[in-house]
Amino acid sequence: MPPVSGDRYENALRRTHGASVSLARSPWIERCLIAGGIALLAFAGAARLTGEIQKQRDLKRFDAALLSAAMPSTARSTGSAVAARGVDTSLWSPERIKAYEESFRNDLEAPLAVLSIPKIGLEVPVLEGTDDLTLNRAVGLIEGTARPGETGNVGIAGHRDGFFRGLKDVGAGDWIEMRTLSARGRYVVESVRIVSPDEVRVLDPTPAPVLTLVTCYPFYFVGNAPQRYIVRAVRRDDDTSPRPAGPAFLALPVKTRKEADPRGKQQ
């Protein structure tokens, strides 16, 4: 065998050493990649689990609110839907309380959404339409306006001596929440206005998601109320400042007159 020169021997030694180092590093890199993959899977799984838990919580809350559209078993036996559901009717008129209880003699469609106004402790189902039975049971989606969860102007009506009497205590900056089975929207009140019944521009379509709550005014007027009380709220899930909903609404006159409660309180 011919002798191996020093240079060739050193080169061969380097190649052998490099291969050994490479082989030594491979398992370490493999382990790092596996650990990283496991960490990513764990993170994704945790995020998915958290989202699923929140979703189930929301569905349970919504399902509980859906029960308000069906006659509770306790109410069937006692004859009092108000007592069974624990609805706060302290501001309601006696006639509206009676109409509310009588509404449970009829079956209605499932709610489209649940409307919540934390400031006044209101949580009420939103039903389709604005006929007497619907508004005695809950609040109703005004025909021709966007449906809950859609982009546009969602118009909701309620009785001034029932579920919507508390609107008298709602003002700019207050929060409103609208929940459907597929989404939750948070709105901030932009303005409160008093208009004539023929001022229907408040229900015009808007490019931005807004919520328009409508009831009669004055709240304690005896007979057919001559005006309409309009609460306009804009969707604000992430940003920090309310945006105008559209020129048609902003063009309406602003009235700030307060109504006197006949029981002696200033509203």
51 with 113, same domain: the answer is no
138 with 198, same domain: the answer is yes
User: Could you tell me the pLDDT band of residue 9, with boundaries at 50, 70 and 90?
Assistant: low
205-229 average pLDDT score: 95
Res. 213: pLDDT tops 90: yes
Domain that holds residue 155: 108-250
In a domain, 256, yes or no: no
117 with 236, same domain: the answer is yes
Provide the CB-side half-sphere exposure for 260 (13 A, CA).
3
133 with 222, same domain: the answer is yes
User: Could you tell me the pLDDT band of residue 66, with boundaries at 50, 70 and 90?
Assistant: low
118 with 15, same domain: the answer is no
125 with 239, same domain: the answer is yes
In a domain, 82, yes or no: no
199 with 136, same domain: the answer is yes
Could you report the per-residue pLDDT of 112-161, keeping only the tens digit for each? 999 999 999 999 999 999 999 999 999 999 999 999 989 999 999 999 99
Choose the final residue of a domain: 39, 69, 99: 69
Q: Are strands 184-195 and 122-128 parallel, antiparallel or unpaired?
A: unpaired
> Please, are residues 214 and 146 in contact by the beta-carbon 8 Å criterion?
no
In a domain, 25, yes or no: yes
CATH of the domain at 154: 2.40.260.10
Could you report the per-residue pLDDT of 193-202, keeping only the tens digit for each? 999 999 999 9
154 with 223, same domain: the answer is yes
In a domain, 10, yes or no: yes
3-state secondary structure 146-188: CCCCCCCEEEEECCCCCHHHHHHHCCCCCEEEEECCCCEEEEE
Q: How many domains is the chain partitioned into structurally? A: 2
How high does pLDDT run on average in the chain? 76
> Please, are residues 181 and 128 in contact by the beta-carbon 8 Å criterion?
no
pLDDT of residue 247: 35
Q: How far apart are CA 190 and CA 134, in angstroms?
A: 27
Q: What angle do CA 220, 222, 223 make, to 5 degrees?
A: 125
Share of the chain above pLDDT 90, in %: 48
Q: What angle do CA 96, 102, 103 make, to 5 degrees?
A: 90
Could you report the per-residue pLDDT of 167-196, keeping only the tens digit for each? 999 999 999 999 988 888 999 999 999 999
